[in-house]
Structure 1
C-alpha cells in the first residue's frame, strides 16, 4: 500500500482502461453511489488496489478498495468462489478488530469480481522507509519483533496464516507510529483454489507468497504457522541489511540464507534469527510464543552474566551446593547462590536452542 501522495506510475496508468474502477479513477463518478476513486495504488496477480473516498460518511473518509479477480467460467466454480470469498471476508472482519490489522469496512461481489473495502492507514511501508533511511539497528529490529509477534499470536489463534509477510506488507502509521500488517495472502489463496485453472494444476502451479520470504513448505502449498515465523525472520534480516533476500547467497547443502556475515548483532540475537529462518521445520521456532520467550530470555543475559562469580568451586562442594542449596548448616554467599541459579537457567536456555 503506497502513501496517498505518491504519483501514479506509467504501469499503474495502464491499468485504467482495463477495469471499471480504473476508468473511474480521477473522475467524479461514484462507485456504488458512494466511493470516489482517487487513484490506483497498485496491482498484483490477484487483483488491483485503489484509494477511494467515502462521500457518504461524515468527513469523506479515505478507504482502500481491493478488487479481486478470480478466473472462473462455470456456475459451479463461481458459486464455490463466492462461498470462499464470504468465508474469508468474515474472517478478515473479525481480525480487523486488532489495532495492527486494517479494519474491514465492507465486502461484496459484482460483475464477476470480488471487492473488499478496508480502512486506509496513512504511512510508509517498511520497504520504502528502509530505502530512505538505510539498514536498521539491532535495537530497532528487536522492537519491530516485539510489535509484530503479538500480531502473529493473534492471527494464529484465529487459525489464519498470513502467507506474505515482508517489508512491503508492513506499514508504519503516520498518526501514531504503530506497524500495521496488510495484504493477507490467505484470501487470495482461497480464491485461487476454486478457480477452474487450478482444479487439476494447483498442486504444481499455484503459489501465494513472495520468493525469498516464503519457506519451502509454502512453495509445496503446505504452509503452517511457522511459515509466518520464517517470513518475519527474513524480514528482520532485510531490515538489518537493507537488502532483498534474493541478494544473499544460499548454503548449497541446506538451502539456508548466508546472512550472518552481513550483520553486526549480538550472538544471542543471531541465534534467535537463525532459528527463525531454519529451512527444517523441526529446527525452526514453531510458534510466536516460542520466539517471544527466547527474546525475553535473551534480554536478561547481560544482567545475569555480570552476576556470575569467576571463582571456581571444587567438584565436591559444587555438587553439594547444587543438590542442597537450602541446607541450613552450610552458608552460601549470595554470589554463589546466584551463580548456581544462572548455571541451571543457562542449561535450560541451551536446551531450548
Structure 2
C-alpha cells in the first residue's frame, strides 16, 4: 500500500476536468492550505507549470508546482501510474542535493492529477539568452560543457536519464550565473507508459523528448545515457548558431544535420561536437566521462603543436638526458613521440 493507493470513482472524467490551480491563479485562496498560486510559467503536452509561494513558511519562499495530467483510462492503469510516479518522484528527490538540479520539496496526487513541488530558480533559459544577446562563441560553449558534463555524470551515476536536455530546460541562475538543469522527463515517461499501456499491454507510440534534440533511439522508447549526450551536443550547436536542429539541412545518407559550415570553431572541437551528435550509437560518445576526456585532450593539442613547431632536441642534449637521467615533462615526451611518428610516416610515404 503506497501513499497514492486510493479508490478512483470517475477515472474517465479525469482528463477533461478543469484544473484547480488555473482557477486559483492570482487568488488569495491557498492550494493544499499552503500554496498561493501566482501564475503560469509554462504549458506542455504533459501538463502545466505554476509559480507559487509557500504561505506557511517564514518569508513565503517561491516554488514551482508541476501539474502532470495523465490520461488514465481505467482504475488499473491509474494505480500503475501512481506506483510509477512515486518511484520516479523518490528517485528525483535523491538528486536534489546537487546545486545544479532544483530540489524536490514535495509530491502528491489530487483530483486524479500528479503534482511535483520544486525549488524555484530565478533566471532565464539559455534559449532566452540566445534570443536576447545572440549565439555564443567556442570558448563560451566549452565553459558551458565544463559546467554541464559533471551534472550528467551525477545523473547517470544515479541511473537517471534526463531525456529532455535542450536550451529551454537549462536555466542561467540570476544570483550566481550557475547553469541549472530542469524539467526531467523520467517521471513523464513513466506516467505515459503506465497510462497508455492497457491491461493487454498494447504498445504505446508516445515518447518523452523534443523533436530534433532527441536521438532516434529515444523515439523507439529505448533511451540510454548516450541519448543525453546527443541532446547536449544539439544544445551546443543551437547555442553556437541560434538555430534549432530542425532548421538545418540534413545528410540524406546519414540522417545527420549539416551544421559544420554554420559555425566558426576549431577543427578539433568540431570533431568532439560531431561525435556527440552521431546518430549511430556505436559512433557516439557513450558517457559524459568520454566527452570530458576528449575535451581535455583537445585542450592540450595547441601546446603539443607548439612543441612540434618550436622545440628541437639536439643529439647532444639527448645524450645528456640519457646519461644524467634529466626529467622531461609529459607534454615534451608526447611531442617528441609525435615528431618521431610523423617522421616515420613521412619516410613510409616517400618510399611508397
CA distance 1:325–1:130, shift in 2 (3 Å)? farther
- Partner of 1:79 in structure 2? 79
Aligned residues: 322
Q: Distance in 2 between matches of 1:130 and 1:281?
A: 29
Contact 1:163 1:186 in 2 (8 A): yes
Where does 1:5-20 land on structure 2 (aligned, <5 Å)? 18-20=18-20
Where does 1:223-302 land on structure 2 (aligned, <5 Å)? 223-302=223-302
For residue 74 of structure 1, report the CA deviation from its aligned partner.
2.1
CA distance 1:200–1:214, shift in 2 (3 Å)? farther
Q: Distance in 1 between matches of 2:195 and 2:37?
A: 28
Per the alignment, in what secondary structure is the counterpart of residue 180 of structure 2? strand
Per the alignment, in what secondary structure is the counterpart of residue 264 of structure 1? coil
Q: Distance in 1 between matches of 2:328 and 2:173?
A: 52
RMSD of equivalent CA atoms = 2.7
Q: Distance in 1 between matches of 2:183 and 2:163?
A: 10
Per the alignment, in what secondary structure is the counterpart of residue 304 of structure 2? helix
Q: Distance in 2 between matches of 1:336 and 1:19?
A: 66
Q: Distance in 2 between matches of 1:256 and 1:225?
A: 19
Q: Distance in 2 between matches of 1:26 and 1:114?
A: 21
Contact 1:63 1:118 in 2 (8 A): yes
Listed as ranges, the gaps of 5+ residues in structure 2 are 1-16, 343-352
Where does 1:1-353 land on structure 2 (aligned, <5 Å)? 18-196=18-196, 203=203, 205-309=205-309, 327-328=322-323, 337=333, 339-342=335-338
CA distance 1:175–1:336, shift in 2 (3 Å)? closer
CA distance 1:134–1:74, shift in 2 (3 Å)? same
Structure 1 residues 94-151: Cα deviation after superposition (integer angstroms, max 9, x where no partner): 0111000000000111111111000000000000111001110100011110000000
CA distance 1:325–1:97, shift in 2 (3 Å)? farther
Per the alignment, in what secondary structure is the counterpart of residue 308 of structure 1? helix
Contact 1:24 1:37 in 2 (8 A): yes
Structure 1 residues 261-288: Cα deviation after superposition (integer angstroms, max 9, x where no partner): 0000001100000000001111100000
Per the alignment, in what secondary structure is the counterpart of residue 114 of structure 1? strand
Q: Distance in 1 between matches of 2:158 and 2:336?
A: 41
- Partner of 1:5 in structure 2? none
- Partner of 1:13 in structure 2? none
Instruction: Give the TM-score normalised by structure 1.
Output: 0.85
- Partner of 1:3 in structure 2? none
Q: Distance in 2 between matches of 1:204 and 1:116?
A: 24
Contact 2:77 2:199 in 1 (8 A): no
Listed as ranges, the gaps of 5+ residues in structure 1 are 1-16, 347-353
Instruction: Give the TM-score normalised by structure 2.
Output: 0.85
Contact 1:102 1:120 in 2 (8 A): yes
For residue 304 of structure 1, report the CA deviation from its aligned partner.
1.8
Per the alignment, in what secondary structure is the counterpart of residue 208 of structure 2? coil
CA distance 1:27–1:330, shift in 2 (3 Å)? closer
Q: Distance in 2 between matches of 1:118 and 1:339?
A: 51
Structure 1 residues 226-272: Cα deviation after superposition (integer angstroms, max 9, x where no partner): 00000000000000001111100110000011000000000110000
Q: Distance in 1 between matches of 2:160 and 2:325?
A: 55
Q: Distance in 1 between matches of 2:340 and 2:204?
A: 49
For residue 328 of structure 1, report the CA deviation from its aligned partner.
3.6
For residue 198 of structure 1, report the CA deviation from its aligned partner.
6.0
Q: Distance in 1 between matches of 2:320 and 2:96?
A: 51
Contact 1:162 1:184 in 2 (8 A): yes
CA distance 1:267–1:53, shift in 2 (3 Å)? same
CA distance 1:343–1:325, shift in 2 (3 Å)? farther
- Partner of 1:10 in structure 2? none
For residue 75 of structure 1, report the CA deviation from its aligned partner.
2.1
